A = this chain, B = another copy of it.
Amino acid sequence: METELSHELGIEHALFGFTPFPAVAAALSRAGGFGVLGAVRYTDPDELRRDLDLLERLSGGHPYGLDVVMPARTVEGVTEADVEAMIPEGHRRFVEDLLDRHGVPPLPEGERSGWRITGWLEQVARAQLDVAFDHPVRLLANALGPPPADIVARAHDRGVKVAALAGSAHHARRHAEAGIDIVVAQGYEAGGHTGEIATMVLTPEAVAAVDPLPVLAAGGIGSGEQIAAALALGAQGVWLGSLWLTTTEARLPSRALTEKLLAAGSGDTVRSRALTGKPARQLRTGWTDAWDDPAGPGALPMPLQGLLVADAVSRIQRHEVVPLLGTPVGQIVGSMTTERSVRAVVDDLTRGFDRAVRRLSRIAGTGIAGTTASPASPANAGGGATGAGR
């Protein structure tokens, strides 16, 4: 699975993995892919530094990247307290009622909320980047479009490529104009924030919109066959997130969540504003149902919703309150039925990819006779027309 982009980055497979776990990112980079550590959950720059040190050590010299959540335009000087003050009292009561109804205890004395995403705050994201640029990261990805221009310049000065997620061709074009190097086209079926255009349609649209910039396809990709599909659509690689959640290297907040992921089908996710205020695909739970209920108050806009629910999500995770327990994950969750090492997953992906390409070559057999030999007919391996394989 070698494309211009993977060649340029010096990796074996054009296989990019987003993960909040350094051990997963490192294992993927070691397996020939490209691990990208999600930074949004690091409120403390020292914690990020420690995990990037770990990632550097574990990755054995293979390249890796960092994913931040940074608005292109930020309001200077806005603190978390300023945003907290904007949350209506009725919404706070709705959260408490919901937790009470499910008998969710508070966090144990002295334990702080683990689920708290503040990486979108200007000063937090910039502190994260100061740490990142101290490390040999090769890619800086941003979940909210292009990072601010000075950050793009700073990355380029250091030879760091910049990637930006896009849910439409229009956004992809705008990102390209902001000087980024790679577009991650995130389809409707993806876990996390998504638009409504499916990967099958979005990928070629994004490719056409930003040509010659490379596009990574994201959403609906959890097998080698799906990688082949994404590359057939013109992507120069794939961006996988959900698939790593059930690897043995992942460290989910609770065993019950892993069990839920292993049991879930492709129809058990929902695109909901329940977690961040923007539509993000996640496991459908009592939590998402409550926020998506037209009779309820509905989710607040980003970033208010994320702040509003941070403690609640921590409590649900801490006490393993199964009916409310969820996580962002894509529709491929239906195919995540066993726990395997990252290496085993990558081996499966490359084998499935090769199998799919061989099948396609057979199907194309007569159409591109003379250029693709049919593996089903060794006698034809010398080249030349063959209509036999399908």
Chain A, range 197-216, C-beta contacts under 8 Å to B: 197-202, 204-205
Contacts of A1-54 to chain B: CB distance below 8 A: 1-4, 7, 14
Partner of A375, one of B2, B200, B353, B372: B372
**Closest approach, in angstroms, between the C-beta of A74 and any C-beta of chain B?**
27
| A332 interface residue (CB < 8 Å to B) | yes
Is A247 located at the chain interface by the 8 A CB criterion? Answer: no
Also in contact, A225 and B234, with CB within 8 A (given A267-B196, A371-B358): yes
- A201 near B363: Cβ-Cβ < 8 Å: no
Q: Tell whether, in the assembled complex, residue B198 and residue A220 are in contact, meaning their CB atoms are under 8 Å apart.
A: yes
Q: Per-residue CB proximity of A325-357 to B under 8 Å, as 1/0?
A: 000001110110000000000000010011011
Give the contacting residue for A228; candidates B226, B360, B382; CB below 8 A. B360
Given known A198-B220, A201-B220, A364-B357, contact A226–B231 (CB-CB < 8 A): no
Instruction: Determine if A364 and B354 form an interchain contact, defined as CB atoms under 8 angstroms apart.
Output: yes
The minimal Cβ–Cβ distance linking A208 to chain B, given in whole angstroms, is 9
Q: How many copies does the complex hold?
A: 2
| Contact among B199, B357, B372 for A200, CB-based, below 8 A | B199
Q: Smallest distance from the beta carbon of A328 to chain B beta carbons, Å?
A: 16
Q: Which residues 263-284 in A have Cβ within 8 Å of B in the complex? A: 266-267
How far is the CB of A140 from the nearest CB of chain B, in Å?
Answer: 24
Interface residues on A, range: 35 or more
Given the complex, which residues of B lie within 8 Å of A390, measured CB to CB?
Answer: 2-4, 7
Interface: A61 (CB within 8 A):
no
B residues near A225, Cβ cutoff 8 Å? 204, 232-234
Q: Kindly state whether residue A361 has any CB partner on chain B within 8 Å.
A: yes
Q: Encode A48-64 as 1/0 by CB contact (under 8 A) with B.
A: 00000000000000000
- A354 vs B369: C-alpha distance when bound (angstroms): 10
A residues lining the B interface (CB < 8 Å) = 1-4, 7, 14, 168-169, 187-189, 195-202, 204-205, 219-221, 223, 225-226, 228-234, 266-267, 294, 330-332, 334-335, 350, 353-354, 356-361, 363-368, 370-373, 375, 381-383, 387, 390
